[in-house]
Amino acid sequence: MGLAFRYSSGQTPLDANEIDGLLIDSIATQGELDEFEQQNIEQAMQWVLSHSLKRERILTEEFICQLHKRMYGDVWAWAGGFRTTEKNIGVKSWLIRTELRYLLDDARYWVENQIYSPDEIALRFKHRIVSIHCFPNGNGRHSRLIADIIIDKIFKKPVFSWGAADLVAQGDTRSAYLSAIRSADAGDIIPLLRFARS
């Protein structure tokens, strides 16, 4: 396949085997890939909206993987499967299941004991799961959708606006988002809380 990928700041490059997992042979440009991925993500969002999802289901490894597969399964063969390669971000691939289990246990505790506000629970979950980097690609979009699912389905509050712009494309909004993520990496979740509702 002759498709050349352009990676924006903060995006995770795919290795050759992961690129071979592309299911649509007719894709020839980055724009076409983005379009097919967006269509698949919109289908996943419709699936989420049409289902009543309970906390007990959302905060499971099975659901985390199922959601990623619904978001990317029409485009990538590896969708919904944990990565087996090392990336420029995330835990070692062999630690993914363990770290995800810790996160899910922590999140259940946060919810049951109201440790943080609903927004903070959703965004702490989003930040931790993207830092684990469970999948070969699509982790940022997956983490934002799971935060929206947590805030909507568990807490019955409005989904996040995420700066009301395309966070995949380069620009001021993406820069502000990445800055908020870096602050959260350093232990300050407040900029991410503000950005998510901007």
C-alpha pair distances (Å), 90 with each of 42, 54, 62: 26, 28, 20
Question: Per-residue pLDDT tens for 53-105?
Answer: 999 999 999 999 999 999 999 999 999 999 999 998 999 999 999 999 999 99
Q: Above 60 in pLDDT, residue 5? A: no
Q: Determine the pLDDT at residue 10.
A: 54
Contact assessment for residue 58 and residue 4, using Cβ atoms and an 8 Å cutoff: no
**What fold does the segment set 16-196 form as a domain?**
Fic-like fold (1.10.3290)
Higher pLDDT, 121 or 172: 121
Given a cut of 50, whether residue 15 has pLDDT beyond it is yes
Average pLDDT over residues 178-198: 97
The first and second tokens of residue 171, run together, are 């620009």
Instruction: Count CB-CB contacts under 10 A for residue 164.
Output: 8
147 in Cβ contact with 123 (< 8 Å): yes
Query: What residue spans define the domains of the chain?
Result: 16-196
